[in-house]
Amino acid sequence: MSPRHIRIILLLIAPLLLFISIPAQAEAPDIREGETLALSRCIEIALARHPDLAAYGYEVEAREALAAQARKEYFPKLDVTGGYTRYNPNDRNAADAYSLIPLDSYSYYTASATLTQNIYDFGKRETAIRIKDLSRDASLHDLEDRRLTLIHSVREAFYDLLRTSRSREVQMEKVGRFESHLHQAKTFFEAGTKSRYDVTKAEVDLSNARLDLTTAENDELLARVSLNQVMGLSSPPAYRIEDNLAFQHYDVVLADALARATEARSDLKSLAAQIEAEERGIDLARKEYFPSLSGKAAYAYDGSETPLSRGWNAGVSVSVNFFEGMVTQNRIREARAKRNKLQAQLDAKRLDVRTEIQKSYLNLQKAEKTIADAALATRQAEENLEIVMLKYSAGLSTPVEVTDATVGYSDAKLKHIQALYDYRKAQSAIEKAMGKKQ
C-alpha cells in the first residue's frame, strides 16, 4: 500500500477515532434522590421512558417507511448491469459444425443500463399509496391510544399509592392509640382500679393493630412497585409523591362525554382508518381488470474487442391480466370480508366506549356521595372515640367499648380515603373514555 493511500485512510478514520475518544455524557437521572413527584411529573417520566410507547413508535416508523416505498411508482427504475465472460476451449470436435465452443480463447464484455417507468395504470398506483397512508394513520392513532392508556395507568397507580400511604398512616395511628390504651390499662391495673382482663384485652388489640399495620405497609410497597412499572422504571431512587387526593369536584355532563368520545377516541379513529384502507383495497382489486401502460429504454455495450459494440432501444408496453384462476374476484371478496369485519369491530367498540363512559360516570357520582357520607361518619366516629376514652378514664366504660370505638374510627377514616381514591379513579377513567388528552 502506497504512503498516499495510508494518508487517505488515516484522514477518513480520524474523525471516528476522535468521536470514540470522547466519553459519552451520562444521562441525567429521571428522578433525584428524595424528590417529591407531582402527578404531572410521573406522567412525563412514563411518556419518556415506558418501552410500550417506543414499540408503538417504531411501528409508526415502519408504516411511514412502507408509505414511502409505495411512492416509488412515481419515479423511473434504473437497472445497471455488467458482465465479463472468459471462453477457453479444452477439447473441441472440429467436425461438429453445431458446437458452440469457440476455437480460440477470448473474453466477452457486456454492460447495459435499462430505464423503466409506469406511465398509466388507471389509478392503481395512487390507490396503493393511499392504502399505505391510511395504514400509517391507523398506527398513529394506535400510538395515541396507547399514550392515553398509559396516562390513565399512571394516574391509577399514583392515586393507589396515595391511598395505601394514607391507609398506612391510619394504621400507625391505630397502633399508637392501642399502645396508649395498653399503658393506661396497666396503670389502672397496678393501681387496683381495673382487672387483668383490661390489660389482656389491650394487648390483644395492640397485636391485631400491628398485624393490620404490617399489611398496610406491604400494600404501600406493592403500590410503589406498580407506579414504578407504569413509569418504565426498574430501580429508581427513593422518592415521595405529592398528596393531591383531596376532593375536587369534577364537572361533567354524560351526554357531552358520550359525544366527545365519538369524536376524540383514538381507537375509533384507528378502526375508521383501517376500514377506509380496506375499502380502497376493494377498489384496488377491481382495478386489476384494467391494463397498465409502461415505458422502457435501454443502452448497451457488448463485444470481445474494444471498442465494444453499442446500441439502444426504447418502447412502450401494455399489460392486461385476462385470467389468473379467479384471483381478482377472490381478492375483492377478501377485501370486502376484512372491511365488514372491521366495521363490526368498530360497532362493538362504540358500544364498549358508551358502556365505559356510563359506568365511569355512575362510579363518579357514587364516589362523590360516598365522600360526603364518609367524612360525616369520620367526624362522628372521632367524637364517639373521645367520649368512650373519657368514660374509660372515669371507670364508666369497658375495654370492648374502647376497642369498638378505636377500630370504628380507623375504619371510618379508611372508608373516607377509599372514597377519595374511587372518585379520582372514576375521574381518570371517564377522561380516558372520552379520549381526553393530557
236-262: average pLDDT: 91
Does residue 194 sit within a domain?
A: yes
What is the residue range of 165's domain? 28-72+121-290+326-434
Q: Answer whether residue 94 shows pLDDT above 90.
A: no
pLDDT digits (tens, 9 = 90+) for 330-371: 989 999 999 999 999 999 999 999 999 999 999 999 999 999
Does residue 239 sit within a domain?
A: yes
Confidence at 96, pLDDT banded by 50, 70, 90:
low
pLDDT digits (tens, 9 = 90+) for 269-283: 999 999 999 999 999
Does residue 84 sit within a domain?
A: no
40-65: average pLDDT: 93
User: Is the CB of residue 77 less than 8 Å from the CB of residue 115?
Assistant: yes
How big is the chain, counted in residues?
438
How confident is the model at residue 268, as a pLDDT?
94
Integer Cα distance of 164 and 159 in angstroms: 9
How confident is the model at residue 11, as a pLDDT?
37
C-alpha cell at 323: 385470467
In DSSP terms, 302 is beta-bridged to 110, 309
pLDDT digits (tens, 9 = 90+) for 7-23: 433 333 333 333 333 33
Confidence at 224, pLDDT banded by 50, 70, 90:
very high
- Residue 353: name the closest of 429, 274, 276, 273 by CA: 429
Q: Say which CATH number the domain at 67 has.
A: 1.20.1600.10
Does residue 353 sit within a domain?
A: yes
Integer Cα distance of 367 and 344 in angstroms: 34
406-419: average pLDDT: 95
Range with the poorest average pLDDT among 21-30, 276-285, 307-316: 21-30
Integer Cα distance of 213 and 202 in angstroms: 16
How confident is the model at residue 324, as a pLDDT?
73
Separation in Å, CA 258 to CA 110, 269, 289, 367: 70, 15, 44, 20
C-alpha cell at 405: 370505638
Separation in Å, CA 24 to CA 19, 280, 360: 9, 49, 48
Total domains in the chain come to 1
Does residue 270 sit within a domain?
A: yes
pLDDT digits (tens, 9 = 90+) for 108-167: 889 999 999 998 889 889 999 999 999 999 999 999 999 999 999 999 999 999 999 999
Does residue 305 sit within a domain?
A: no
How confident is the model at residue 287, as a pLDDT?
86
In DSSP terms, 79 is beta-bridged to 114
Q: What percent of the chain has pLDDT over 70?
A: 89
Half-sphere exposure in the Cβ direction for 271 (13 Å, CA): 17
How confident is the model at residue 91, as a pLDDT?
61
Does residue 114 sit within a domain?
A: no
> What integer best gives the mean pLDDT of the chain?
87
